Amino acid sequence: MPRSKPLLLWEPFPYLVLVVLLIATGFVRPSSPPWLLWPLMALIAASLAWIVVAIALERRRRNPDQWGNVDTFDGLELVDALPAERSVRAVAPVADTERHRRAIELARLNGGAEQQAVLVPRASRWLSMRYRVGVQLSGGGQPRHAGFLRADAQERWGALLDGLRTRGEYVRVPAFITGAEGRFGVELDVSGLEALEGGGAPAQ
């Protein structure tokens, strides 16, 4: 999985280009030579069109969307990573749970402390260029964003998860909500991902 978005896909980039071009108009006067004036006007028009297209793409309903948010699990091809038979559970803590306490609390109320989570590669926070693997809890059947895979877990499993994503498949793993109200954490049992590396599992 790439570490970051291409610059052209970074949400603020068209706006930054337009700002730079508008600043350039302060130095290019209507009396400037046509070879300087008209290309600048064409670039400004192209930037405006680019922004319109970008806004249209943001509003287009996609599931998951360009930030890795999931509206519904319906229609997604989910692959269960069944936990391996081990005496010690292999868990990966979820990062950024403090930003998603309300969503985690709702997932716990609707699905209990032990439930499942869907891993969504190429997710990101708003305005961030960094690609991450999003974690969507499924308590009550409703997706709730709990955070992202921690960096070490993403380094280990990102390529596998992204490869499945290109086939339209998203991995579902056991999840455990820890802590008390206001201090929730989430741990994922990722032991079943090793089996997927070795040959995969049927989609559900």
Nearest to 118 by CA among 199, 182, 64: 64
- Cβ of 203: how many Cβ atoms within 10 Å? 15
Each residue's pLDDT, cut to its tens digit, for the chain (204 residues) gives: 777 777 767 777 777 888 888 888 877 777 778 888 788 888 888 888 877 776 666 655 666 877 788 889 998 999 999 888 765 677 899 999 999 999 999 999 999 999 999 999 999 987 788 999 999 999 989 999 999 999 999 999 999 999 999 998 999 999 999 988 778 999 999 999 988 887 654 445
**CA separation for the pair 191, 96 (Å, rounded):** 22
Q: What is the pTM of this model?
A: 0.77
Q: Residue ranges per domain, the chain?
A: 7-59, 77-197
Nearest to 90 by CA among 174, 33, 24, 26: 174
Place of tokens 């064409």: 42
| Triad 188, 127, 77: Cα angle to 5° | 40
What is the sign, positive or negative, of the torsion defined by CA atoms of 90, 66, 113, 183?
A: positive
